Structure 1
Amino acid sequence: MRVVALVSGGKDSTFNMMQCIAAGHDIVALANLVPYNKSEIDSYMYQSVGHEAIDLIAQAIDLPIYKKFTYGLSEEKGRTYDPCENDEVEDLYNLLLEIKNEIDFEGVSVGAILSDYQRVRVENVCLRLNVTPLAYLWQRNQEDLLDDIIKCEVDAIVIKVAALGLEPKKHLGRSLSLLQPHLLAMHEKYGLNVCGEGGEYETLTLDCPLFKSRIVVDEFEIIMHQDDPIAPVGYLKFNKLSLEFKLPALDLESRLEGLPLKNSFEYISNDNEDSLELNNEEQDFEENDLSADSEVPEINVKSILMQQPNFGISKEGWLWIGGIQGESSNPGDALEEAISKIKCVLERHDHTLKDVCSIIMYISDMSQYVELNEKYIKAFNHVNPPTRACVQVPIGYPVQIEALSWKNVSDISGDADIDRHTMHVQSISHWAPCNIGPYSQAVKIGEFIHLAGQIALVPGNMQLVTEGIKAQCKLVVRHVGRLLNAIDNNVNLRDVVQGICYVTHHSYIEPARKYWEAKTKNAIVEYVVVTGLPRSAAIEWQVWAHRHNNQFEYEERGKCIDNYSISLYRRVNYDNNVAAIVCRVESADKSQTFEDNIFSEALTYSIEKLKQGHENDSTPVYNLKIFYSVLKVTEPNSLLSMMESFVDSTTLVYNFIPVVNLKNQNTFLSICGIRNQ
């Protein structure tokens, strides 16, 4: 795409331009916010020191530069941003709008690494202008990133220091390549961000492969902004700069040739973390498995199970909503019908759509996804929408939805309110798939983290990885781990409590299971074969995690009834205010037909284990997903009737979901349950 690059003159904005070119984009112009009538301003958004070099950078790259004055005022400092008059963010909006009126562009290059404050505001501006933010440095390991910047021949000098371990008279004007060992040492000693993401230092790029000429510093002076004896703050003011043409004159392709500059796929295939490169044994499996890669079992039967909305609200503000169906023959109308039912339940409990934190959509035909999504966007077109998973299952109507909402309840004990934090990253990066749409990657409420469904998209180009099921398994699990760690740096993949793994072929379950179990600890998981996934993916993971997963116990139980076996896996925390189960009904006899009384046994067993320790407590809510194979359970309506008999004595929220198969092809159904206080 055609890209306008936001440039400060520093290493990050420069290297992100190089990343954009490596990803196949075309830089068409530069944009810069200039401090009004000052050498340097204290801005939350923009690097201003070194602005004297911006025009020379544009000349060195041979691109037009668009500039606008900013006072660096920040009127809106919250986690989210609403357009606010006189805020410095609006200076950026007006600058890009002026550029858009003159030239066509579809993307904006942004050098953000860790700052959610900056990312959220740039994304807000890009969304209003209908362009895509490209932040390829986002969430990069800073030591690796600094090393890449230096190896890719970005010659940058330090022009401002403001941190313990950095001294103006000693370190200003020195190149990053020379300072790299010192920065690493200060990171170990004081926790300094080696790329300066905490404001420890700022840089000016004097030369890089994008430049036809290098910048020469002829005259400068050191300005002491704060002469603190422990962490003095100082910067360089440039009084005279010039350009020196580089010989021999080479075109851009030649200047970039030979650099270790990775493209989007190389960031997943050559990364030390969970590399997608396969060993010989795995490669043989992949080649033999390609015939199954696009196979979807023929399903001639679609389950027509007419459920009614059911719901339950816990004392801590969790509102579970199940049984929501859109039955109109028109997909868009069906989704509007389903959302209308959700709204009715929400309003009944003084919740709104903005309180919804997680949505699961089961649809009958993935080819209708675009039409359904258009309606969905209209309903959830607000800041920080819920997470969402979407899978295709053999239902006899267009859409079925289950939802989880949360609203803070007043606490008479005086404890601090539970906080809700949403991660809605819309910038394309090499970190994890962005969300350009009406859903968020993760929602953290108190100790709970709910993730959106994840498929194997290459983050840098948002294309599905094509190497086969093993590669898709590895990439999806990497996405899950990175999302968890990004929303809470004390949480990782091993903190997942419960998950659902959706696959489009039964042969995909075993590689998915092996890889997941090698990376996690005691998570209870159901593996479900569905008829389709977004982007024709082979696998989709949806999980929830808890900040204190190490305080959860793991338990396996089971019993046999006639020719059936009921296996149950349970996680419960030490305080016993959270419990989760996966319960499977199987038979070794392939000719065995399903008997309704076995469902009653499994349901009773599941609820008993969820209730354990709270048998006389009426406050908890029990949420159940009942996956059943349409190949083995052909009359599910009787199961629905049996379920209703349990609702009278328990706050039970339930969803029946027809699928092709479960973890074992001899499995009739599986119950995935959660108890919340």
Structure 2
Amino acid sequence: MKVVALVSGGKDSCYAMMRCIHYGHEIVALANLMPLDDSVDELDSYMYQTVGHQIITSYAECMGIPLFRRRIRGSTRHAHLSYSITPGDEVEDMFILLSEIKQYFPFINAVSSGAIASDYQRLRVESVCSRLGLVSLAYLWKQDQTLLLDEMIEKGIVAIIIKVAAMGLVPAKHLGKELADLQPHLLQMKEFCGINVCGEGGEYETLTLDCPLFKNARIVLDKFQILLHSPDSIAPVGILHPIAFHLEYKKDISSLRGAGGNIDGCSDKMGCVHVVEGSSTDSCIVRCQSSHPVPDNYSYEHLRLCISTTKRDVFSVGCWIEGPSLGLPEDLTAVLWRIESLLRTEGFDWVDVLYIHLYISDMKHFALANEVYVKFITEKKCSLGVPSRSTIELPLKQVGYGHAYVEVLVASDRSKRVLHVQSISCWAPSCIGPYSQATLDKEVLYMAGQLGLDPPTMELCAGGLVAELVQALENSEAIANCFNSSLASAILIVVYCSAYLQSSERYKIQQMITDFLKQKVSEMQTACICSAFDPIFLYVLAPDLPKGALVEVKPVLHIPENSEESVETNLHQDHDKKPHDRVLEYARWHDSCCQNYIVSEKICAVLVSVTKDVAADICGKNLQNAQGFEANGFVKDMKTIVKFCINLLDKILVENNFSWEDLKSLRVYFTTDLSTTADVLSLTISEVLGEFAEVGKRVQVNEPIFNLIPVLGSGGSSFMDDLITCELFASKL
């Protein structure tokens, strides 16, 4: 049978699992009940051992099996031996936990528990199993405790004493001792005062640090504290409170993938942790954690999550730190962990990700960021090909974002085509690491950020900006050619410019790119290949780029199945038409703030740029610089500017028969010159979107639908002088 094992961390639940395997069953998931408050070591419970709960999260990685946990919200409300359903009782927490596990793994048909002598515990497990149609497995039930203890030690269970509450057991002397070392004393105490040698009378509790089930790693307790609960002279009660521990791997970690067996629905074979929360069955949700637990200093409240749409065919997710920041490795681990949690909750995994934007606070830590990245995104996890990726440095810390910010684009149908060439050649730069050159999904090609790298040497081209930009464009063109396309078919070209560029150099970029693309269009026309060249251009000024590059090009292409597709760009039919409930009066000059790329009934891409001059006109003020907004009522002015942007985006969507439900991504770039934190701007945008929802717009505001990106500068031109730039991508594909 497929078994979910109830684990407390003690020797009994571990040995019960070993017995299950001995009798031919397969352990496919672990289940644990933990205190509502992490600072509490022990609950007054007849059902659950909670001392040492801080370490249980490691069992997933040690065994390579997913661990599901739930906080104990109930108490002992039904104290009779035979149990009947009682709302608010702690047994209902077990029912909710196992219910969620069964939904996650519907093939599970049995539950293992380590009950030896307690009818109270056994009957309650049996009651829950009966309600869920599961079989209760209690292979230790009524076993001779002396023989059982000997078997556990002989079979390789390494456990320490973490609680004592019996005559002959002294906290200062016996807590932290290994069970094998204490066995002679326990047998002596059995003869002297009749204690249960397996602790079934509550005499002691244990924590398993190693056993044959721990194929991947053993737990090493580095530091602990002895807490005396009762200084009784005859039977003092004390517990061991873990303070620090680590895992000692039994072999090279890279060889452990797949150690947990083939478990449907959980692609991380190293094991994962799922926290089931909620006060009732109806409100329960499952949050999944990778085998790299989120650092204790973070919580869900510290990890801001934005989702582009409630439609789950193609959607984007952005995550960043709001709160205490520990450093790049910790921040990036927490962010990737949180995204992985959401993906798995929604039935996705890294294999479903099309594209990843990786933003870090300091490019000097680029190698360190990659070390963390490869712990989550690997080729083994991405059977259809690893996602394409771009990486830049952004001023994250200045706006309270911590050291790492990640965006992912996800698709549900797994029909993507991935180009992942790792060989060094004269063709285009190889991909060193778990990311691909390009990913094609539903006629849209998402290309990795391209630097001016010379393919055969993988070094930046000498000669400064001109050489680098030309090479970056040539590299992009080579990749597009692999999909029988060209940069002339671009929907959007994002150009990341390094802050190390001189101002005079930035102004050359736009003309150089335009000349390059015109040449490609001419070549295609000569070859009698039709092309509509008029992509959206977005320029972003970043503090630094990988390898110290001066420029990075990130194209998005349309590759139609039908070569006769009609494309409309930067054109507005019926300028005077106003969508319903227009908040701001429309003026013809507003069109100069927009770029758009429309493929009828398929794609709607829009860029709205708000420069200082435009902002001043919108707000009716003569402002000389961005800082002037704060001195003249920043919040009110910013709300007016945001309304302007959302109105224009909505106008173009409506005019082209798109809705907000078609949204795949919405990025709002804002300059750090605004002297504001991201949360203030985020609240303003959310408020405006909320007002749209109230007047009948189709904006989903029950969760954030935009990613807020701090930059040194951005805009539709290489001047990059916008206060705010909005980049929207909607699709019916």
TM-score (norm 2): 0.46
Instruction: Give the greater-gyration-radius structure (CA).
Output: 2
